[in-house]
Structure 1
């Protein structure tokens, strides 16, 4: 027999995969545990009891949460439910009257919300889904919003028709027109879509020349634009400055002076009429060869009643599909539809014109490019380059040549990795992108590898591949007060990952909600003070749906009476009371209670939504209990002839170093529970025992076994911070 006293000085490796339970040779083994449920690993090493969640409001129905941050102190959470948006700010719901929610109608049924993409720019949130036209949500006041269809009048468009016998004719050039095709081109799903119609040429109009005698009303063309003379100023002769203006009226000369031949003065006034192309929006379907439309950009003069084969359908419509993802990148509103990326004109988010008025493509014009080996794009992320995730691979969109500006003629897409992505909005933080792999079991990190001049992916679940067994459905990232990546899984549980890549800190934990609560959606927003990140949760509870807000992680020095470690809970603060109400959302549930910093026996919430206390209290927290458990791995203690793994052993004593902890029990090798109560003789019986910091030492009474594991359970709604675990172990020879 030998005796050893190992120490687990850190628990921030979190819950490790069963595949690592034999890897005592790995550094992560010394920092990890077999189970971490309802605790969070933090950078400094401890495991801290995960905070509770506060009940904010009943939701209208099953919902997804969407953040809207106007600025750091004006943050909103959108409750997106079936065909409806509701809004929360300053930790409360926006209402038009007491208990009457402010809401707006939307086109999205609940079934579509999981794939609703969004991107914010100042006070506008752009939203899109493959089954609906894109929309924009505008913040019109501190507590008012407006939703409207996005009016993309200048594109984008599909490739131009190349069949010269397939022509279209418009019976007018402005206003309402009828478009007639020479062959079947139209379907009912084209309504609300666009058509770009270009004149075949401008040969029917004479070109502008300097020194040319003209009359009022004459037309001339220059550089692909058509102008009409509206004033000769008595000269009747053109000047030397060619008309190039894309709108309005300009002079082509000063109207003064003569040349050496005594001709002049020069200069007439030209008004812009049209250029090479116009755009119509289809308003009605007649048959396969005829539609009605409204002109949104004047059609070329020569197309009115004249057929042309130079036409293009808009890329977005019910027939051709709507964009299903959106982001903002390099001052371009950027959509994805199927395998194609559409980026707007620089600085003009709703303008997708790929050519200018003279038919040229300049660097600031809209971009249209497709991914290689086309698979449907599942997400876009704006970084230095545009990151693109598909079901098959991850790509970047960037300039073909760094010597010129990115634009429609200088763009390429490179494949970076072939993991494949799920339809889950990724997280971009500190230049690293976190995305869910296509099977929804892993989360990958994309980071730029300087030595290879490309982005590379790293599996964040490599030490805990089991954590995603129920499939990951949504992500949120909180940076303050601690950096944790949060996820919702398909079973309705929360997952949390300590994510500090600069310190190589990575550790997973599970955070199931209290009994009966099923998480459906999460999002992050900034608290009203603009200091901390908040995690908001949409959860179902039987036939009801709750909006919850997670409390901040416990900080050293907090008031014990403010400890909030219950789910879907409420707080009371005021004159001492013996009955606490307002709990109608938890009728019939058994709840945990904290009164003035002390744990109170559990109660069943009455039909009236109340609980009765044993004695009056002035600060009370009531809510559903949730599990908190840490189970260690098998300690590697060493033996007389090598490892202690696989040998009979017994833990004789445990020293548990904690900080501000109360309400936990410890079980060693299946023995009797030891409870940390900290009831000191000096503490009056009408007060709760204070939180304990220091070494909690007890003699273990457990059975000999080959595992020698310790289980710590949180048994009261109180703080708990486990700093280190120090057992004394007797190891047998075999």
Structure 2
């Protein structure tokens, strides 16, 4: 028999996969753990018990999703999505129109559709896209007012132009309400409300403008550079051809006495813009045979369309018949809408304008463009990164950018280059620092995409390579808390959270799990706190016993904070109490439950909450000489289990040998209420009240080394566990085991 004393100086390797149980030779094994539940590994290496969740409000019936609306660095709103309506939270409370009356906004998205609504923030508006609904925007019009409207897109976008010269369209008029008649059934009911574009088949009915044409009278129509103009004065044409696209302009000077260089004149006619080659309409009712439709003219039609049908027409790219974009992203001064395989970029600097040609039919680099992606699978997510657009599909990840990096992205300066072939899940990535974290197809792996200059492509490292089990039920949402702890948060399908202290420069590998003490977490979002500096984690909790609530993780505890300020309960409510107060109300979210209470830093177990949310504390548990703070909520357990130690006291591995943990020393920081034991043995309290501690107050928080003999029998693991289920803080800085090893 020999005694060995291994030390665990860091836990930021996180909870490792059971498949890593034999990899005692790896560096990550030395800083890993077998179980980390509600204990979070930090960048420094210590394990910190996570804060509790504060109940804010009950959610609307059927609530399914949370997301953020960022107005500025200090004002960020939480959006609660339920069935076809939104609620709002800000400043730690629900936004209300009157006390107890939530601000609600009608939207077309069902509760099942809400998780798949793509968003793009731009100052006071949030652009929205979903494949079952028109693209839209949510606009903040005041501190407690929002509006929702479909995007008022202009000039398209349009689908491919008709290629069959035998299928033509004519119009009953060139302005106002018209009827379109087609030679084939080209209209479907789903086209109602969509754009429709027509182009003059020829311009033979209008003669070309020339210099010096005499006999022009008002009403005469000429064309120049593909644009038709109507004369509004009489005379001979001047020397400046009309090129304007609205209003009127002169082609010369007809002022009496004015002559040209040859002493002739005056010459000049005033011309009014009439139309160009293109006309745009919005379709109305569709005939049953699909050969005609009513429409409202948005952009005046060419005159020839009344008498001469044209084969040059195109449907709008977005409609109930053609489908709606599923993604929206802003980059390079353009708003880009993505519909499956197609990318539609707006005019530069004009998010709603999709004009692809000038009035003369000429393309320009700053105009809108459309690009079809060469990929076998439709786009599932898109984010702007550096000067590129990263797009994830089920089979690959693609970078879309300019061919010539010195020029802006444009229809003639664009390329789509595959970066990796892992495939993605339809989960919006999180951009963290210089990297983008996305979920691989299947929902089990988290990958970190970072640009590699040496390879000129994005490399996507597997963050969960050491802990495949932590994502066992799949990841459905990602969030990131920047401050005070840099934590990547993933919502699992079974209602747990997976958290990762994301600090790539420190090579942190660890993951841990958050298990709510009284329900399943269905959605999560991080918002800027009221101070504009720290971030808050908000969650949507499906409570055990029924009901759904919006909860906010309490602030991460600062070192040296008072014990009485602890907040380590879930679905919890905090209140200030008067001296000697025993009776409390307002915990309706805990109705019928047995809960724990922290009163002035003292722990009270198994308090019954009445059906009306009221509860009573024993008179002996509350101070009578001062006011105090009360926190009531559901208990959760923080659990850490060490890995099998690798001990080489005799030069041989201890793996597989009989061994037992006989003592344990924990180096703690501001800790109370922690118990220890062998993995399969009983638990013993590590910290006792000293003779100097007051008996009418809780045990003070302890910092330093504390040792305890461990009760337990022989096994072949040599593992220890630490448990904190009291509503008090716990920080484990290091662990020193004494292990007896058999032959």
**Normalising by the residue count of structure 1, what TM-score does the alignment of the two structures yield?**
0.97
**Hey, what does 2:598 align to over in structure 1?**
594
TM-superposed CA distance for 1:271, in Å, is: 2.1
CA distance in 2 between counterparts of 1:572 and 1:224 reads 74
Greater shift, 612-621 or 8-17, is seen at 612-621
Superposition map of 1:323-362 within 5 A: 323-362=325-364
CA distance 1:488–1:199, change in 2 (3 Å): same
- The C-alpha deviation readout for 1:294-352, integer Å capped at 9, x for no partner, is 11122122223421000111111111111111111212111111211111111111112
CA distance in 2 between counterparts of 1:9 and 1:482 reads 20
**Hey, what does 1:57 align to over in structure 2?**
57
TM-superposed CA distance for 1:600, in Å, is: 1.6
SS at match of 2:510: strand
SS at match of 1:312: strand
- The C-alpha deviation readout for 1:45-69, integer Å capped at 9, x for no partner, is 1110011111110111223112001
CA distance in 2 between counterparts of 1:394 and 1:111 reads 26
Q: Please state if 1:388 is matched with 2:391.
A: yes
C-alpha contact 1:420 1:437 (8 A) present in aligned 2: yes
**Hey, what does 1:708 align to over in structure 2?**
718
Superposition map of 1:286-305 within 5 A: 286-287=287-288, 288-305=290-307
Greater shift, 157-166 or 551-560, is seen at 551-560
SS at match of 1:476: strand
CA distance in 1 between counterparts of 2:563 and 2:233 reads 84
Structure 1 portions without partners, runs of 5+: none
CA distance in 2 between counterparts of 1:587 and 1:106 reads 32
Greater shift, 34-43 or 539-548, is seen at 539-548
TM-superposed CA distance for 1:559, in Å, is: 2.4
Q: Please state if 1:572 is matched with 2:571.
A: no
Residue number among 445, 467, 481 corresponding to 2:448 in the alignment: 445
TM-superposed CA distance for 1:150, in Å, is: 1.4
Greater shift, 266-275 or 309-318, is seen at 266-275
Residue number among 413, 422, 427 corresponding to 1:424 in the alignment: 427
**Hey, what does 1:35 align to over in structure 2?**
35
- The C-alpha deviation readout for 1:631-681, integer Å capped at 9, x for no partner, is 000112213132222222233321100101111100125333221344222
CA distance in 1 between counterparts of 2:81 and 2:480 reads 20
TM-superposed CA distance for 1:502, in Å, is: 1.7
SS at match of 1:29: helix
TM-superposed CA distance for 1:90, in Å, is: 0.7
CA distance in 2 between counterparts of 1:189 and 1:73 reads 43
**Hey, what does 2:553 align to over in structure 1?**
550
**Hey, what does 1:633 align to over in structure 2?**
643
**Hey, what does 1:70 align to over in structure 2?**
71
**Hey, what does 2:100 align to over in structure 1?**
99
TM-superposed CA distance for 1:137, in Å, is: 1.0
CA distance in 1 between counterparts of 2:445 and 2:631 reads 36
CA distance in 2 between counterparts of 1:160 and 1:563 reads 66
TM-superposed CA distance for 1:168, in Å, is: 0.6
Residue number among 691, 699, 708 corresponding to 1:698 in the alignment: 708
C-alpha contact 2:686 2:708 (8 A) present in aligned 1: no
Superposition map of 1:612-631 within 5 A: 612-615=616-619, 616=622, 618-631=628-641
TM-superposed CA distance for 1:592, in Å, is: 1.7
CA distance 1:662–1:305, change in 2 (3 Å): farther
CA distance in 1 between counterparts of 2:508 and 2:212 reads 77
**Hey, what does 2:249 align to over in structure 1?**
250
**Hey, what does 2:285 align to over in structure 1?**
284
Structure 2 portions without partners, runs of 5+: none
CA distance in 1 between counterparts of 2:261 and 2:412 reads 46
CA distance in 2 between counterparts of 1:66 and 1:641 reads 55
TM-superposed CA distance for 1:578, in Å, is: 1.0
TM-superposed CA distance for 1:702, in Å, is: 2.4
TM-superposed CA distance for 1:728, in Å, is: 2.2
Q: Please state if 1:25 is matched with 2:35.
A: no
Q: Please state if 1:124 is matched with 2:125.
A: yes
**Hey, what does 1:138 align to over in structure 2?**
139
CA distance in 2 between counterparts of 1:254 and 1:67 reads 60
Residue number among 639, 644, 648 corresponding to 2:654 in the alignment: 644
TM-superposed CA distance for 1:410, in Å, is: 1.8
**Hey, what does 2:238 align to over in structure 1?**
239
CA distance in 2 between counterparts of 1:34 and 1:129 reads 41
CA distance in 2 between counterparts of 1:283 and 1:405 reads 38
C-alpha contact 1:54 1:551 (8 A) present in aligned 2: yes
Q: Please state if 1:718 is matched with 2:721.
A: no
CA distance in 2 between counterparts of 1:438 and 1:604 reads 45
SS at match of 1:693: strand
CA distance 1:254–1:428, change in 2 (3 Å): farther
C-alpha contact 1:669 1:704 (8 A) present in aligned 2: no
SS at match of 2:426: coil
CA distance in 2 between counterparts of 1:229 and 1:431 reads 59
Greater shift, 291-300 or 404-413, is seen at 404-413
TM-superposed CA distance for 1:94, in Å, is: 1.1
SS at match of 1:19: helix
CA distance in 1 between counterparts of 2:610 and 2:717 reads 45
Residue number among 313, 316, 328 corresponding to 1:314 in the alignment: 316
Q: Please state if 1:436 is matched with 2:439.
A: yes
CA distance in 2 between counterparts of 1:228 and 1:374 reads 50
Greater shift, 654-663 or 422-431, is seen at 422-431
SS at match of 1:670: coil
- The C-alpha deviation readout for 1:385-434, integer Å capped at 9, x for no partner, is 01111111111111233354321122121111111111111111222111
TM-superposed CA distance for 1:461, in Å, is: 0.7
C-alpha contact 2:38 2:515 (8 A) present in aligned 1: yes
**Hey, what does 1:6 align to over in structure 2?**
6
TM-superposed CA distance for 1:37, in Å, is: 0.2
CA distance in 1 between counterparts of 2:18 and 2:339 reads 41
**Hey, what does 2:536 align to over in structure 1?**
534
C-alpha contact 1:136 1:150 (8 A) present in aligned 2: yes
SS at match of 1:466: helix
RMSD (Å), alpha carbons: 1.6
CA distance in 1 between counterparts of 2:285 and 2:154 reads 17
TM-superposed CA distance for 1:254, in Å, is: 4.6
C-alpha contact 1:20 1:463 (8 A) present in aligned 2: yes
SS at match of 1:114: helix
- The C-alpha deviation readout for 1:250-272, integer Å capped at 9, x for no partner, is 23335564224321234332222
CA distance in 2 between counterparts of 1:428 and 1:136 reads 22
- The C-alpha deviation readout for 1:76-123, integer Å capped at 9, x for no partner, is 111110011111111111111111111111111112112111111111
Aligned length: 729
CA distance in 1 between counterparts of 2:546 and 2:239 reads 78
Greater shift, 371-380 or 172-181, is seen at 371-380
